[in-house]
Amino acid sequence: MSETNTIAAHGGTLINRLASAEQKKEFESKADHLPRVTLDKRAASDLVMIAIGGFSPLTGFMKEADYNPVVTDMRLASGVPWSVPVTLSVTEADAEPLQIGQLVRLDDETGRFIGVLELSEKYTYDKKKEAINVYRTDEDKHPGVKVVYEQGNINLAGDVWLLERDAHPLFPDYQIDPAESRKQFAERGWKTVVGFQTRNPIHRAHEYIQKCALETVDGLFLHPLVGATKSDDIPADVRMRCYEIMMENYFPKDRVILAINPSAMRYAGPREAIFHALIRKNYGCTHFIVGRDHAGVGDYYGTYDAQAIFDEFEPGELGITPMKFEHAFYCTRTTTMATTKTSPATPEERIHLSGTKVRAMLREGKQPPPEFSRPEVAAELIKAMQA
């Protein structure tokens, strides 16, 4: 099929900030004479997401006029919904010599030249205000808040260019950027596509809600996050192997696409649920699964706060439809996966296993019950946890 995917990118246009061959040559010729800023892993992944259109309509790191209403009202200066700041923060010492209007060389943590910032603003910001509004807490033990408190006090703003789109070092075959995912959806004739986000290994509750969603749309876009996560999260390569197992054995291959989401986790709970939905809209999804405690951490958010936040926007305003699912479990009475909406079981007849309990079992070499995890997936997790 030659037609394009039917859903528009957020803001109306899919952004492309990949340098052309001529631009790259020009930037490289100036590289040794440009002031440098080193990006941490999150900022480097943000640069990539801006460049490939995953963060459309952003064309660079946020200006103050966008940053402030995003923090307070979940909107860009234009009024377009946006829930999480995307900023480049540096120290006063690093910001001081930079001049408005100049090009700034962006290096990754290894010192490699990866992008350019067209510096348009330098501004200070209120870290505590950002923490309370975006993360709903000012406690530095929250991993997202900790990042905000530890980063520099000055935000650099301006359009960016990514020098080159490198193949992912671990998952090149699953690197499907927004322009390509939209093309693949169209080629398959998918008019409606539901996206699924996770930073955790897939288990039976995930599989259940994914397949429930797939009953009502043309295609499922499995899009696990492989950017920076907490040190105690299951590594991305392990999670991807689990998805490969599921694709091989338990999903209809003609109705599911597995791809990586290269962005970093913020652990911003409800705000990040909106953020994740808008990212999947840019990839061409028409629907987005929102389950229990989406993007949550610890006890900072209510079980279904990430679903309720979608109701703060007018119907259709986000341009992507949330599919809200309750916490799934194995029902011993009906011997199926279910939720409280579909199961007659008493609490004693429901098998719930927390991620903490499962990780403890895996470290001990114990296989979680088949009601929680497919046996092939459990075996892969045990192997990884004991390595």
DSSP bridge pairs for 113: 107
What architecture is the 21-162 domain classified under in CATH? Roll (3.10)
Annotation marks residue 16 as catalytic = no
In the chain, CATH 3.10.400.10 sits at 21-162
Q: What is the arithmetic mean of pLDDT over 334-341? A: 94
List pLDDT tens digits, range 256-313.
999 999 999 999 999 999 999 999 999 999 999 999 888 889 899 999 999 999 999 9
| Catalytic-labelled residue, pool 105, 136, 199, 204 | 199
- CB under 8 Å to 153, separation ≥6 — which residues? 89, 91, 92, 124, 125, 127
Q: Over 80: is that where the pLDDT of 199 sits? A: no
List pLDDT tens digits, range 163-187.
999 999 999 999 999 999 999 999 9
Four-CA torsion 232, 238, 239, 241, nearest 10 degrees: 180
Q: Tell me which residue of 13, 127, 136 sits closest to 74, measured CA to CA.
A: 136
Q: Over 80: is that where the pLDDT of 331 sits? A: yes
CATH number 3.40.640.10 given to 172-385: no
In the chain, CATH 3.40.50.620 sits at 172-385
Could you tell me if 190 and 128 are in contact, meaning their C-beta atoms sit under 8 angstroms apart?
A: no
- Kindly state the tokens that stand for 120: 């348009």
- CB under 8 Å to 35, separation ≥6 — which residues? 97, 98, 102, 104, 105
CA–CA dist 224, 176 (Å, integer): 12
Annotation marks residue 292 as catalytic = no
Q: Over 90: is that where the pLDDT of 114 sits? A: yes
pTM of structure: 0.95
Q: Tell me which residue of 220, 339, 360, 237 sits closest to 291, measured CA to CA.
A: 339
List pLDDT tens digits, range 367-380.
888 888 899 999 99
What is each CA distance from 1 to 109, 191, 233, 259, 283, in whole angstroms? Answer: 42, 12, 40, 21, 18
Going by DSSP bridges, is the β-strand pair 60-61/113-124 parallel, antiparallel, or unpaired? unpaired
Comparing 35-44, 199-208, 302-311, the range with the smallest average pLDDT is 199-208
Q: What is the arithmetic mean of pLDDT over 123-148? A: 97
Alpha carbon distance, N-terminus to C-terminus of the chain: 46
- Per residue, what are the HEC states of the chain? CCCCCCCCCCCCCCCCCECCHHHHHHHHHHHHHCCEEECCHHHHHHHHHHHHCCCCCCCEECCHHHHHHHHHHCECCCCCECCCCCCEEECHHHHCCCCCCCEEEEECCCCCEEEEEEEEEEEECCHHHHHHHHHCCCCCCCHHHHHHHHCCCEEEEEEEEECCCCCCCCCHHHCCCHHHHHHHHHHCCCCCEEEECCCCCCCHHHHHHHHHHHCCCCEEEECCECCCCCCCCCCHHHHHHHHHHHHHHCCCHHHEEECCECCCCCCCCHHHHHHHHHHHHHCCCCEEEECCCCCCCCCCCCCCHHHHHHHHCCCCCCCCEEEECCCCEEECCCCEEECCCCCCCCHHHEECCCHHHHHHHHHCCCCCCCCCCCHHHHHHHHHHHCC
Higher-confidence residue of 6 and 241: namely 241
Could you tell me if 161 and 18 are in contact, meaning their C-beta atoms sit under 8 angstroms apart?
A: yes
CA–CA dist 207, 86 (Å, integer): 31
| Catalytic-labelled residue, pool 36, 75, 200, 359 | 200
